[in-house]
Amino acid sequence: MDDDRFPTALVARSDAELLGLALRAHPHQPAIALWRATEFTMLRDIRLAAPVLDLGCGTGEVARSVLRSHWPVDGLELVANEARVANTSGVFRAVMRADGTRLPVASAAYGAVYSHSVLEHIPSDLDVVMEAARVLRPGGRLVFTVPAPAFAERIERESGNAALASTNARLGHYHYRSLEEWTDRLAERGLTVVGSRGHLPAATQRTWRRLDELMVRRVGGRRVLDWFRGLHRRRLVPLPLWLVLWSALLWRPFRRRVHEPGGYLIVAERLA
């Protein structure tokens, strides 16, 4: 299995390129792009074996950046509109519209299951992990990113419990499991953690939060996010200029060193 694994498509990318990729994937959502870029830095040398299942693939924009080095890649997405876009993206061999707790896939079908900021949005996340373990072949890897308990603790400490509840409701976050808890829960499902990394330090999270709150603020009856989308649809701001401006604004928060992480990358293997 080791000989079948090779790095993600991010392996040779510089930090500046990673930030640019994240902004291209989310041009009108700089808060998401900042978060995504910090995740990308952890994925450069992660090695996966094909075939790969992108669990919660969305429209395929993240897989376009991360998994272009692997084939075949299948997508799984529950949201109908996103699954439809992913199916025409050219990124995937096939896209399945299904619930992650009941994967329409044979056991031991994949060399890797990849899930990018998805499990925290699923109430029965551990059932999804069980299914991921089932469809992995022996030696296969589950690679996923999730927010850490520190993410929630910072919001509660700085703004109170009501602010945390509001953030969770808007983002659809159900869980903030510690690395220790993840290690135990994965072991119960036949998966052994072989690597983990942290991202989203406190100062970066504060920048993310300010941007996130800005995007949903209403100006003239519309969210700032909708104004940005309108600018892009009408091509009133050239995309290269937009990327340069946001890259300059986000560079320092993106590059901050991680002490206490607000999110994890976890790599777990199915050993048998």
Q: What is the pLDDT of residue 238?
A: 82
Query: From CA 130, how far away is CA 150, in angstroms rounded?
Result: 25
Q: What digits encode the pLDDT tens for the residues 175-213?
A: 999 999 999 999 999 999 999 999 999 999 999 999 999
One-letter amino acid for residue 31 of the chain: A
pTM confidence score: 0.93
Q: How many helices (H) and strands (E) does the chain have?
A: 11, 11
Q: Over pLDDT 70: what percentage of the chain?
A: 99
Q: What is 2-270's CATH number?
A: 3.40.50.150
pLDDT at 212: 92
- Token pair, residue 154, equals 């910072």
32-85 tens-digit pLDDT: 999 999 999 999 999 999 999 999 999 999 999 999 999 999 999 999 999 999
Structure tokens at 272: 């048998």
Look at the chain and count its residues. Answer: 272
Q: Residue 137: count other Cβ atoms within 10 Å of its Cβ.
A: 16
> Residue 1 — pLDDT band, cuts 50, 70, 90?
low
The rounded distance, in Å, linking the Cα atoms of 75 and 119 is: 15
Nearest in space to 173 (alpha carbons), one of 216, 130, 117, 98: 117
Domain borders along the chain are 2-270
pLDDT of residue 147: 98
